[in-house]
Structure 1
Amino acid sequence: MTEAARERSVTNWAGNVVFDARQVHRPTSIDELRRIVRVATRIRALGTGHSFNRLADTDGDLVSVAGLPATVTIDRERSTVTVGAGVRYGELAAHLHQHGYGLHNLASLPHISIAGACATATHGSGWRNGNLATAVRAIDLVAADGELVTLDESDADFAAAVVGLGALGIVTALTLAIEPSFDVAQYVYEGLSRDALGRHWTPIIRSGYSVSLFTDWTGTDINQVWVKRRTDRDHPPIDADAWAMTPADGPRHPVPGMPADNCTGQLGVAGPWHTRLPHFRLDFTPSSGAELQSEYLLSANDAIGALDAVGRIRDQVAPVLQISEIRTVAADELWLSPNYRRDSVAIHFTWIADTSAVTPVIAAVERALAPFAPRPHWGKLSDVGPNELRTRYPRWSDFADLLVRYDPTGTFHNAFLDRYFPR
């Protein structure tokens, strides 16, 4: 196979998307990136590929930010860190901890790039914790004319640009809020019944700094409850007896039957924040990528009703599902964040790697959840159409106008964006 052929066969992490790009650029400096963007007619940024749809695809050129300088600069006076866009969260976290700092939260996987995660409002869990993009305090990006632009909280466009879907430019660096490092102890419980979940939803979901519920939808029960508690804060007691949960007698993997070796430390043994907030360790690959994913975020007030709606079609869901995770995310002011001005519950589905089998089930889930006006995760599989979706984002039209102002010729547009924000 020629080098050109290898470049044309670039895929996302899961392998369900083969990118249509004519070529892939791998600049090693900002100046080189600026020259590439300046002459491009269509171009999109490529991070670690942890998206499951064609958000990052293009019929023009792809540009990988992985080779840009992996700078990490801590500003102790402002309690911020400025980091290169291609740096992965796990790498940044280890560096911050070494210097006595932490981030407010992390996603399940520490393997994802910072720029890609923020651009799609990727999140962890915690009813008081915003998604990862809420930590952003400034963005550096290369605009369509090749110029380097910096936006911070003082700019009127900032709240639009943070969750920007890669549509405003190629992000080169982000400045994130940091805080003193902290320890977390992680506990896993099993056997939470649907009845107990309905009666105790609020205390269960607020029982830790970060709480995740896992179910395979083979029945009405929750298979596992993962509770992550900061050791520097007081938390309400976990009433396992009243909630009819049993502490796990050993480490667990979220997917039944999978070994727990690649999961972060459990059994209440405290450890640094970056070794407990993700579900998986950075030094292990959590899976081969043989999976598809969907996720829907809706008002936290509708959590039980939404879970019951999915439960009513569990005979369709369970056969093509690996595991489903339920988390909470705090509201924010970022225009295209699925959590915009809405405390949210996130219902995540990790499907088997069979597009033909999974696609009709995704449609069934979306029909079941439609009464709750869910906002799909921007990087996951969904077929919610633009007419429906624009009604769920109050700043939708404002963002569309911003795209034209920042990118009048559609340099960063692609088929995905054309569907939702036609020019």
Structure 2
Amino acid sequence: MSNVVTNWAGNITFGARRLHRPAALPELQELVRAGGPLRVLGSGHSFNRMADTTGDLVSLSSMPRTVEIAEDRRTVRVDGGIRYGELVGRLDAHGLAVHNMASLPHISVAGAVTTATHGSGVRHGNLATSVAAIELIRGDGELVTLRRGDEGFAGAVVGLGALGVVTALTLDVVPAFEIRQYVYDDLPRASLEQHLPEILAAGYSVSLFTNWQTTDINHAWFKRTDELPEGPLFGARPADGKRHPVPGVPADNSTDQFGVPGPWHARLPHFKMEFTPSTGAELQSEWMVPFDRALEAIDAVARVREKIVPVLQVNEIRTVAADDLWLSMNYERASLGLHFTWIADTAAVLPAVAALEEQLAPLEARPHWGKVFTEDAATVRSRYPRFADFQALVAEYDPRGTFRNAWLDDILGR
């Protein structure tokens, strides 16, 4: 490639020979038929080498944008390159919404789905759970469609890019709704011990942010469909100004707060689409642990607080409902998510990541597929009861290894 291509964070420089931007489906199929190695580059919001390759990268950014709402208004079919920020306004204009969104509206829908990325809420599954059908080009270049209930569907949705190039997704939609966002400062540690399940269930979506300078929570964000009464909540006080998730960072790019009602797509993410997301240069890690062991997990992080504070920007604590997708981090268990935004220094961050993994191992923590983790692949595989079935599905859809790379070889154990 004549130009260096990196991921969004800049910590990964892709080793591909070429970057293709096909403009039509037949052109994309021919690229696949030519053989690999070939990997799809979405919005680049992965923090490890899952999208890297020594062969060719393909971006779907030049493919036609597709937003087709079904006649019954229960689903929408979108193309494989669309981002949430491009989709949500068009859905809202038709009085429709997706049930959940990630912190950043800048990510691609297909990339979020294939890695089981999520928003938060004890009653809400991750973004992949809204998929009703998936269309992909498998390793021989043929286009196939799998619908919810079909054999292999639950294994294909969170597919890590291993089964093929996702060209379209059909998503469940719901009627559009309004959300109010409230932020509270200084949630006491004692409140977590006494009321953690109630706190995390006190909104459509709830996020707790801490930099672990103390054992208290810096900010608690409650996204609700109704109003909250004035005054303290669980011992925390209403914020006296707009907040950014990272303590001390200017809040201009954060979504609106103070309980002002607004459309779902302008409140469920933490960051506005029109601004640069988050703090810029950073690394990210995330682990999902069983929700019924949530306080144990928070205690586990506290035990290595001194190791993580020097390299931590913020730790977000949130919840995700259980699902039946084979490689979802929330497979068959409601989860507490522990998301860490680190400084942009890989060498300094990795020891902190390893320390957290050691503490969280007894809880069978599942790392986010697209973020920084160091546990060996065999250990990660052991935490997914259907992993052998996924390996068989990969062999069926990509027997030539068109979509393989070193990262995926390690994960699959072959």
Give the shorter-chain TM-score range: over 0.9
5 Å matches for 1:82-161?
82-161=77-156
SS at match of 1:14: coil
Partner of 1:51: 46
Unaligned stretches of 5+ residues in structure 1: none
Superposed counterparts of 1:405-420, under 5 Å: 405-420=396-411
| Offset from partner CA, 1:315-336 (integer Å, 9 cap, x none) | 1111100001001000000000
Letter in 2 for 1:72: V
Counterpart for residue 201 of structure 2: 206
Measure, in 2, the Cα distance between the counterparts of 1:403 and 1:100: 38
The answer on 1:399 being equivalent to 2:399 is no
Letter in 2 for 1:176: L
Once the two structures are TM-superposed, the CA of residue 41 in structure 1 deviates from its matched residue by 2.3
2:59 and 2:51 map into 1 onto residues whose CA distance is 11
Give the alignment of 1:224-235 within 5 angstroms: 224-231=219-226
Residue type at the aligned position of 2:65 = A
Q: Which residue of 1 aligns with 2:236?
A: 245
1:375 aligns with 2:366: yes
Residue 373 to residue 180, structure 1, CA distance change in 2 (3 Å): same
Aligned-CA RMSD value: 1.3
- The match for 2:264 is 273
Q: Following the alignment from structure 1 to structure 2, what is the Cα–Cα distance between the partners of residues 34 and 345? A: 39
Match of 1:12 among 1, 7, 21: 7
Query: Residue 33 of structure 2 is aligned with which of 28, 35, 38?
Result: 38
Q: 1:283 aligns with which of 274, 289, 293?
A: 274
Q: Which runs of structure 2 are paired with 1:62-73 in the superposition (5 Å)?
A: 62-73=57-68
2: CA distance between counterparts of 1:41 and 1:242? 55
Provide, for residues 353-380 of structure 1, a one-character-per-residue CA deviation record: whole Å limited to 9, x for no partner: 0111101111011011111000000000
2:249: which partner in 1?
A: 258
Q: Is the 8 A contact 1:322 1:351 kept in 2?
A: yes
Distance 1:411 1:147 in 2: 13
Contact 1:108–1:279 (CA under 8 A) maintained in structure 2:
yes
Deviation at 1:309, TM superposition (A): 0.9
1:293 aligned to which of 281, 284, 295 = 284
Q: Runs of 4+ in structure 1 displaced over 3 angstroms?
A: 237-242
Q: Percent identity?
A: 58
Displacement after TM superposition at 1:409 (Å): 1.0
CA drift of 1:242 comes to 6.3
Contact 2:103 2:268 in 1 (8 A): yes
Please give the alpha-carbon distance, in whole angstroms, between the structure 1 residues aligned to 2:102 and 2:279.
Answer: 18
Give the AA of the match of 1:229. R
Q: Distance in 2 between matches of 1:72 and 1:40?
A: 30
Query: In the TM superposition, what is the alpha-carbon distance from 1:257 to its structure 2 partner?
Result: 1.5
Amino acid of the structure 2 residue aligned with 1:31:
P
Matched, 1:358 2:355: no
Distance 1:396 1:150 in 2: 22
Deviation at 1:154, TM superposition (A): 3.2
Structure 1 contact 15–289 (Cα < 8 Å) conserved = no
* Alignment correspondent of 2:320: 329
Matches of 2:413 and 2:387 in 1, distance apart?
A: 12
Distance 1:111 1:380 in 2: 16
Q: Once the 2 structures are TM-superposed, how far is the Cα of residue 67 of structure 1 from its aligned partner?
A: 1.0
Whether the 8 Å CA contact 2:177–2:263 is kept in 1: the answer is yes
1:5: Cα distance to partner? Answer: 2.6
Distance 1:238 1:332 in 2: 33
CA deviation string 1:123-144 (max 9, x = no partner): 0000000000000001111111
Whichever residue aligns with residue 194 of structure 1, its letter is R
Classify the secondary structure of the residue corresponding to 2:50.
coil
**TM-score, normalization by structure 1:** 0.96
Aligned residues: 414
Bigger drift between 242-251 and 48-57 goes to 242-251
**Structure 2: distance between partners of 1:179 and 1:291:** 34
CA contact (8 A) 2:271 2:278 kept: no
Distance verdict in 2 for CA 1:211–1:240, change over 3 Å: farther
Task: Describe the shift of the 1:19–1:238 C-alpha distance in structure 2 as closer, same or farther (beyond 3 A).
Answer: farther
Give the match's secondary structure for 1:55. Answer: helix
> Given that residues 378 and 413 in structure 2 are in contact (C-alpha distance below 8 angstroms), is that contact kept between their aligned partners in structure 1?
no
Distance 2:379 2:176 in 1: 42
Please give the alpha-carbon distance, in whole angstroms, between the structure 1 residues aligned to 2:36 and 2:303: 48
TM-score when scaled to structure 2?
0.98
Q: Does 1:172 align with 2:167?
A: yes
The superposition leaves residues 219-261 of structure 1 with CA deviations (integer Å, 9 ceiling, x where unpaired) of 1000000000024xxx8x6796462100001211011111111
- In the alignment, is the contact (CA less than 8 A) between 2:76 and 2:171 conserved in 1? yes
CA displacement, residues 150-209 of structure 1 (integer Å, 9 cap, x when unaligned) = 111131110000000010000011000001100000000011111111101011111100
Task: Look up the equivalent residue of 1:266 and give its one-letter code.
Answer: Q
Pair 1:304 & 2:299 matched: no
